[in-house]
Structure 1
Amino acid sequence: MSLSIDLSGRRTLVTGGSKGIGEATVSRLVEAGATVMTTARRLPPHVPSGVSENLFITADLTSEEGCRTVSDAVHRHWGGIDVLVHVVGGSDAPSGGFAALTEEQWTRELSLNLLPAVRLDRALLPLMVACGSGVVVHVTSIQSQLPLPDSTLAYAAAKAALSNYSKGLSKEVGPKGVRVLRVAPGWVETTAATALIERLAQEAGTDMDAARQGLMASLGGIPFGRPAKPVEVADLIAFLVSDHSGCITGTEFVIDGGTVPTA
């Protein structure tokens, strides 16, 4: 018997919803009946399916002003919120280990991977607490446990900070009826990841599968044999924000094909 997820009428904000995991999450939650607002720095060529144009908010969440724009939109359109999913994140830091990371690069990584969640939670969690219910999901990363020192040290540190913050927040607002959870993906084969595989294949003069296997090996291997798909992460998030997970809070769910070698 399939598990039916009904999110009818749930007022939901998904950050970073124009591509990758964010776009897949928007689609999955809309499919389950949620009313979804989402964000990105720029309006994409096509607003994500199921999201009305007035609920797509263009904002740079690395700034206080951008987060304020989004929280103001939630207050203006709904006056409350039921589900908040923090997907926005990423890294553009150079390789070269700790010495290659400048003050500006550390600030960018924290501003993208930690502070948007802190700021939006601070603005919107009181609405959930006032109602005595709500769900917050922070999308972290297995790199909080398995950092790649050459290229993602600052990103991994920011995600570790997000995970720790999320755990502490769950203890504070759990008694007030608000659930706080973490989803930690490993490598997810998004459109950007596919483009990277294509580039690596061209540079090495090999095919896509060989390039994919080489990239997985560089990450320490994926025992399951393939990266996750964005829709698989979205399905997990949909389950966690639904009533089926009504007694789950304060914990992290890893979706990495077995990459993390310990439980």
Structure 2
Amino acid sequence: MSFDLHLNGLRAVVTGGTQGLGAAVVKTLAQAGARVATSARSLPLQSVEGVTYVAADLSTAEGTRHFSQTVLKDWGGVDILINALGGSKTPGGGFAAISDEHWFAEFNLNLMPAVRMDRALLPNMLAQGSGVIIHVSSIQRVLPLPESTTAYAAAKAALTTYSKSLAREVTSKGVRVLSVAPGWIETEASVAFTQRTAAHAGTDYEGGKKIIMDWLGGIPVGRPAKPQEVADLIAFLASPRSASITGTEYRIDGGTVPTV
């Protein structure tokens, strides 16, 4: 039995697709035959063959406008939009260490790019009567770490709620909307953070990983997810194979969150 995702020739846009999870999603969709365009503040040294890269800072309205208009000009519309951009730069120290600037920065990185990209590209999907939008949220929305991820977690919670509302609005018009909530993913940024944690604690990399897993209350599978594992889930959900899936969130966290 073939498990062709039937993505060949579909137009797919991925935000933040040059590093971490976004890069894995770009590669996976391209290998499945999709036409892929992605963005980053700076273009990668090594690109995926056949992928269109657009330099744009999506934490700004101007950057989002440039990226979306470039795609619409080149393709006329899109079939798949994966809002994978995200991250946190707020320092540790709990609520008192989070300034207004930190709060705005987290929402401008983790919520507003998705809102703006949807607003720019969704009208075309509605006009053609088909499309898929996937928002990459995080288990942090239900499992925030007060020491360091309060603002990030709040922004991701807002993204999930927005995604649910958007699905209720447009699913009946032919556009599926859903979200994916990863747990800890071993991306380049995560590796660097683990190394810093290990150095601060006077241990090695594996010791640093254990410290972080303890912060999360443990990961039953015993390790963080690989970017490719999450990308495979996203590619499946974006494909016609998932035509009846919409308005929900898929958690992929190795069992970290113990509740239903």
Shift of residue 200, structure 1, vs aligned partner: 3.1
Show the 5 A alignment for 1:1-263.
3-47=3-47, 49-52=48-51, 55-263=52-260
AA of the residue aligned to 2:100? E
Counterpart of 2:236 in structure 1: which amino acid?
A: F
Distance 1:191 1:138 in 2: 21
CA distance, structure 1, for counterparts of residue 85 and residue 50 of structure 2: 17
TM-score, length of structure 2 as denominator length: 0.97
Unaligned runs of 5+ in 1: none
For each residue in 1:197-238, what CA deviation from the matched residue of structure 2 results, as whole angstroms up to 9, or x when unmatched? Answer: 233333434332222112111121101111100000100001
SS of residue in 2 equivalent to 1:143 = helix
Moved more, 3-12 or 202-211: 202-211
Asked if 2 retains the 8 angstrom alpha-carbon contact of 1:40 and 1:57, the reply is yes
SS in 1 for 2:22: helix
Q: Secondary structure at the match of 1:17?
A: coil
Shift of 1:74: 1.2
Cα deviation for residue 2 of structure 1 reads 6.1
> TM-score if structure 1 supplies the norm length?
0.96
- Bigger drift between 186-195 and 225-234 goes to 186-195
CA displacement 1:122-145 (0-9 Å, x = unmatched):
111000000100000000000111
SS at match of 2:133: strand
Task: Please report how far the alpha carbon of residue 6 of structure 1 lies from its aligned counterpart in structure 2 after TM superposition.
Answer: 2.5
CA separation of 1:2 and 1:207: change in aligned 2, threshold 3 A: farther
Paired residue type of 1:102: S
Cα deviation code 1:166-219 (max 9, x no counterpart): 000000000000000100000000122122223333343433222211211112
- CA contact under 8 A between 2:178 and 2:246: conserved in structure 1? yes
1 CA distance for matches of 2:115 and 2:222? 35
Matched letter for residue 104 of structure 2: T
Q: Please tell me the residue identity of whatever aligns with 2:49.
A: G
Report the count of equivalent residues. 260
Q: Equivalents in 2 of 1:89, 1:225: separation in Å?
A: 24
Deviation for aligned residue 1:116 = 0.5
Equivalents in 2 of 1:105, 1:143: separation in Å? 17
* Runs of 4+ in structure 1 over 6 Å off: none
Q: Secondary structure at the match of 2:135?
A: strand
Tell me, which stretches of 5 or more residues in structure 2 are unaligned? none
